[in-house]
Amino acid sequence: MLYALCSMPHLTMKKPQSIRSILEQTFKGLELDVPIRTYSIFSAWKEIVGEAIAQQTQPRTIRNRILFMDVSHSTWMQQLQFLKPTLLEKINGFLGEPLIEDIRFKVGKIPQANTPKVRKLEREERLDRKTMDRIEQLIENINDMELKRRFREILIKNAKVERSRKKSGQES
């Protein structure tokens, strides 16, 4: 019976498709590909708008082709209103087609992790032996050397930032 099923012309196997192509077809069919693609601007924000604007802004969400963005200060918000056409051009240029039609600005909290001040504090701060020993203890069971190195870097950076915040009275 198996031979009979395989020899029937209408039951021949098609070439397998990649999961990526199946997902792309599904998203396009459900008209979800545009919204999903537009969110790629979040990870490339600094590249799209430049360092100065990226430090003062943060894209929050996209709804109905409108980008909602937090801005650090009302002065920046006013300046960005004037730059809106240029920003839309840069964003849609990055996306390859006009997927964002408008930008709405709101004064909000911008994460300061990328600011030069925090990076400077991280470099200047030296950790004590007890903290370094604790970090080594936390990663000692990681066998992959590259993964271990990256975790060490992250833990050291975090410890430096936390110590700097405590010293400057910004403890969160």
Q: What is the pLDDT along the chain (172 residues), one digit of tens a residue?
A: 445 545 555 556 677 878 777 766 766 665 554 566 777 898 899 999 999 999 999 999 888 889 999 999 999 999 999 999 999 999 999 988 898 999 999 999 887 644 455 455 545 557 788 888 888 888 888 787 877 777 788 788 878 877 777 776 654 4
Q: Is the pTM of this model over 0.75?
A: no
The residues near 21 (Cβ < 8 Å, ≥ 6 apart) are none
DSSP string, 29-48: HTT-HHHHHHTHHHHTHHHH
Alpha-carbon distance of 130 to 78, in angstroms, equals 48
Query: How far, rounded to the nearest angstrom, does the alpha carbon of residue 97 sit from its chain's CA centroid?
Result: 21
**DSSP 3-state of 51:** helix
Q: Which two tokens stand for residue 77?
A: 């918000």
CA distance 172 to 169: 9
Ordered structural domains, the chain, with CATH: 30-107 (3.30.300.180), 116-165 (no CATH)
**Pair 95, 37: CB distance under 8 Å:** yes
- With the C-alpha atoms ordered 131, 124, 46, 52, is the resulting torsion angle positive or negative? positive
CA–CA separation, 168 vs 157, rounded Å? 17
Q: State which amino acid sits at residue 73.
A: H
Q: Where would I find the beta strands (DSSP E) of 83-131? A: 102-107
